[in-house]
Structure 1
Amino acid sequence: MKIKYLTSIFILISTLVFSQNQSDFNEREEMLGTTSSTELLFHEMINADSIKLNYPGIILGIEKINRKYLSNTEEEITPEKQRELYQIDLCRYREHELKRTIKRAEKILSHPKVMTLSHWIEFDKYQNRTLKYSLYDQLDSKQNFLENSISQIPKIAELIKSKFEQEQYTHLIIASTGWNNDQKKSVLTYNTWLQHISNAAEQKNYKFKPYVIGLTWPSTWKTVGGKIISYFNKANDADEIGMTLMNVLIWKHLAPLMRNYPETELVLLGHSFGARILTRASHSKILLNNDPENKDQIDLMIAIQGAFSVNRFLNKKSTEGNLYTRFLPWKKFIATNSKSDKAVDNAFYTTMIGNDKSSKKLTSKKAGVRFSLVSVNSEGKLGNPINETIHNIINANELINHGDTPLVGAHSDHQRPQFGNFIFNILNSYK
């Protein structure tokens, strides 16, 4: 009887404490303006222990926060201040004959809301999670919250350095999902990708021990028609993350760190707008005040059904023309396209690289860099070598053809084991 009484008291106290904590957190959500049904989906991991990365690594939680909430001091987070904090200079595009890009980039970085790292969580090899940072815990003091957020970037790199000193990893994989993925779905996708790649590697007795950085970002609107009308807005959000947060993380910290670990490959893996984020980050190195002697490169960039204009690789006089031709940020670039993918057809104003029409353009005289056309079969086996040229466009009609709805077709056909086989075959043969 006494045990039941004590148990009831414990449950009551726990409930009251939880309710108070939840109430406090709700107040902090209101302070950052992240209380809508959509916004709640992108910091769910802060309080949800059940969302776990099954591999050693980090999940970065990025949210879209109004500028007026990002400082409670007299200092405003203007677009100019935002660029200053990230130490990026858009005028550097002019030095690379990309002045048409400047106004477009300024518009993207002038949105009333800023893509902000609001939290990040570490997972060890036993799947234990540690919330390393939450912007929601910083709101009681007077400060510039965007600056506070950006200060986490070197801390992320320091953690990775400490992990690499303890264990030898074969790959540092930076992964990003694309359009219409919430935080929970993104983490599930990373676990699925890694599991399928690991299974394929094990069958071939290939050592695959990755450390993973997975992005979660507000890539959808949970409103009637939101999935459709959000397309152009989310394209800009992806470019913003690439030019700012991921640009600084990769080029100021991770690429230099990897000099100390030559046996570990730096691999970027993005799907849809996730490929847009990571390719834009790769080519935004020119916006930073880098050492001109810095020859760091990403080992491998894989763009799965990329939702960005093929013009970025073409000699065209447009805001996006030549954007990805001015220097080589990677040793190898792989992109897939498929005629079954209908989502990338939504951009009527251009040809997305994930559209099957991109192959002809990328292998034409208009291409600013040389591309090779490669094929992959339904089991993920490459039809011809990918180690001969740096840039490769892969006809994935046989592999990427399982569509969920007529509207998007096969755009999200990357959850099957055959996709893992495909990624493994790239890792095993790209050098």
Structure 2
Amino acid sequence: MHWEQPLIKSKFLALTLVMVSLVGCANTSRRLETEEVALSTDGPITRQFHSALYYPFEIAPRFDGYLIGIEKVRRPKDGVVVKNRPEYGLADEALQAKFNDGKVMAVTHVIRHHADALRSGNCTLFNAYVQSPESAARQLVPACSDLAPTIWHPSEVFSNSWKALDGLANDMQRRIQTRQKPTAAQPSVGSSKPDSGSGPAYTHIVVIVMGWNTVQEEAVRNINSLVWNMSRASDEQPSSPERFNPLVIGVTWPSQWSSDWIDPAVKILSFPTKAGDADEVGMSWLGVLLHDTLPTVREKLHENLPDMPPKPVVVLGHSFGAKASSVAVCAGPAVVRPKEASVAPLAEIDVLVNLQPAYLSERIFGRTSVLQNVVYPKGCPQAKRFVITASAGDTAVPLPFWGTYLGEEKSHRKFCGPYHQGPRLAHCAVARASGHIEAKQPGTSNIYYIDASELISESAYGTGGGSHSDIYRLEHGRLINAAVMGEGIWAKSGR
């Protein structure tokens, strides 16, 4: 028919226009794409772990503190030096295997933020995406210093992670010290950015790490929920001598698989890989933060304000974030500072809270592992108080078939049930739906193992795994706040 030929031509023209437009889109680069390629963080998933650099206002914790972005970058040409610790319960070969990868964890950005979401003072203390004067001009988050921007070579991002955390220590010390003084605050040295000097003194330093398949944007939202509900729970206690006012450090890490070929529907295949990555986070920069950076802050504050009591350090982890936080607190970092021969000494952590931890119970309650998994042969004496939850409604942690995870109710029943043989290592307790805790059986250590089946019982919006992620309500804030403030069963125990 005569009209078929014009129709074919029009369809061909339309298809050509679509193809041209797609080519045009493909040639449109992202603002930080050059720097992402240099760091090997340019994938569709990997770039979601520095999204706060693109949206400094929208993706920001709503509390005074810092956001530390850990990402996987190219392995340094000269390798990575790690030292074993007896606290890992690992052979040297097993430890080396955890760092034997083409990519390694590194700190790529440290963002300083304020509680006031409308304030324009959010800035970077460290930004590995500043790799040239041109890239410095493209940054959407300004540097905290008004001096010439520091250029960071992408090949040195692993070793520069030490400088990132040293800069954090200096800023934290000034910030806490300024808040402690009754006089009006001045901006940090070398900076004209607004400071958070006005306001009450900080009561705690709270470090939070989220779990598997949690990109940076979601992690920040979750951190906001946790701290907000802790604050709400604190406000319910009128007899408290001071309002809970933490300095919050959110730590994000590449908890989602970045393989281009994998379909999101089969993310479960990434479970073993991300389980190993969680250990690497704890054995590297999260461990350094807790046992090097924060002790440095405490030491400097004591030198300048000897009468000021040290700020309690609280570490909170969920799922694989609980795994990373436990190895960081209980065993410490394996990475070694350049030109030093040994790892940092272990510091005491006041409170460690593991919500629905996704790691084997043998790590806490075992003393050896035939599979060469990390175990803590001496338990976790570095944490003055170690709180662990388990729930029958959590269908994510029973998923692995090779062992029992701490977040399973089955694990709690094994170590806290009536048929447990021998002395109990953990203090056993139950959490009611209200978030209040009831003691059941006493233990011999600093560990509190809580059956939270009544409390962690709902499917959180947009999540799977049953009640695995049901940790963002006021009732959960009550549990965490009681552990942090030493109330409820902890007030009675004194531990």
CA distance in 1, matches of 2:51, 2:346: 39
Q: Which of 444, 458, 468 matches 1:411?
A: 468
CA shift, 1:22, in A, is 6.2
State the match for 1:138 in structure 2.
131
2:452 aligned residue = 396
Q: Residue 249 of structure 2: which of 213, 217, 238 is its match?
A: 213
**For 1:381-430, what per-residue CA distance to the aligned partner results, in whole angstroms no more than 9, with x for missing partners?**
01128998511100000000112599611100012221112212222323
- In structure 2, what is the equivalent of residue 147 of structure 1? 159
Q: Residue 28 of structure 1 corresponds to which residue in structure 2?
A: 35
Does the 8 Å CA contact 1:380/1:425 hold for their aligned counterparts? no
* 1:54 aligns with one of 48, 62, 65: 62
Task: Please tell me whether residue 41 in structure 1 is matched to residue 72 in structure 2.
Answer: no
CA contact (8 A) 2:257 2:274 kept: no
* Deviation readout 1:110-155 (Å, 9 max, x if unpaired): 1111111111100124343112221111367765232123321111
RMSD: 2.8
Q: Which amino acid aligns with 2:99?
A: L
Q: Relative to structure 1, is the Cα distance of residues 308 and 146 closer, same or farther in structure 2, using a 3 angstrom cutoff?
A: same
Residues 150/424 of structure 1: CA separation in 2 closer, same or farther (3 Å cut) = same
**Rounded Cα–Cα distance in structure 2 between residues aligned with 1:107 and 1:322:** 16
Q: Determine helix, strand or coil for the equivalent of 2:70.
A: strand
> 1 CA distance for matches of 2:231 and 2:208?
15
Please give the alpha-carbon distance, in whole angstroms, between the structure 2 residues aligned to 1:53 and 1:97.
32
Q: Which residue of the partner structure matches residue 169 of structure 2? A: 157
> Equivalents in 2 of 1:186, 1:397: separation in Å?
24
**Contact 1:255–1:298 (CA under 8 A) maintained in structure 2:** no
Aligned twin of 1:423:
480
Runs of 4+ in 1 over 6 A off after TM superposition: 385-388
- Listed one character per residue, the Cα deviations across residues 251-280 of structure 1 (whole Å, up to 9, x for unaligned) are 122135336353521100000011111111
1: CA distance, partners of 2:406 / 2:426: 12
Contact 1:315-1:321 within 8 A present in 2 as well: no
- Which residue in 2 is equivalent to 1:197? 230
Q: Is the 8 A contact 1:154 1:249 kept in 2?
A: no
**Residues 406, 303 of structure 1: CA spacing in aligned structure 2 closer, same or farther, 3 A cutoff?**
closer
Q: Which residue of 2 aligns with 1:98?
A: 89
Are the equivalent residues in 2 in contact too, given 1:307–1:352 (CA < 8 A)?
yes
Matched, 1:243 2:283: yes
Alignment equivalent of 1:274, drawn from 321, 340, 343:
321
Change (3 A) 1:38 1:286: closer
Structure-2 change in CA distance of 1:126 and 1:21 (3 Å): farther
Are residues 1:332 and 2:385 paired? Answer: yes
Question: Which one is further off, 313-322 or 268-277?
Answer: 313-322
| 1:315 corresponds to | 367
Deviation of residue 295 (structure 1)?
Answer: 7.3
Query: Is 1:66 aligned with 2:113?
Result: no
In structure 2, what residue type is equivalent to 1:238?
Answer: A
Whole-angstrom distance in 2 between the partners of 1:251 and 1:210: 19
User: Which sections of structure 2, spanning at least 5 residues, go unmatched?
Assistant: 1-26, 133-150, 180-200, 303-307, 337-341
Structure whose alpha-carbon radius of gyration is higher: 2
Deviation at 1:322, TM superposition (A): 4.0
Question: Cα distance, 1:39 vs. partner?
Answer: 0.9
Deviates more, 1:231-240 or 1:417-426: 417-426
**Cα pair distance change 1:352/1:121, threshold 3 Å:** same
Structure 1 runs not aligned, ≥5 long: 1-19, 71-75
Contact 1:256–1:296 at 8 Å: present in 2 too?
no
Give the distance between the partners of 1:171 and 1:359, measured in 2 at CA. 30
Say whether the 8 Å CA contact 1:243–1:281 is kept in structure 2. Answer: yes
Deviates more, 1:369-378 or 1:322-331: 322-331
**Equivalents in 1 of 2:464, 2:425: separation in Å?**
32
TM score, norm. by length of structure 1: 0.83
State, as a whole percentage, how many aligned pairs show the same letter. Answer: 25
Query: Which structure 2 residues correspond to residues 371-382 of structure 1 after superposition, within 5 A?
Result: 371-382=426-437
Q: For residues 176 and 226 of structure 2, what CA distance do their matches in structure 1 show?
A: 22
Q: Distance in 2 between matches of 1:387 and 1:129?
A: 45
Q: Distance in 2 between matches of 1:295 and 1:107?
A: 23
In 2, Cα distance between equivalents of 1:113 and 1:325: 31
Alignment of 1:68-87 (within 5 A): 70=76, 76-78=77-79, 82-83=80-81
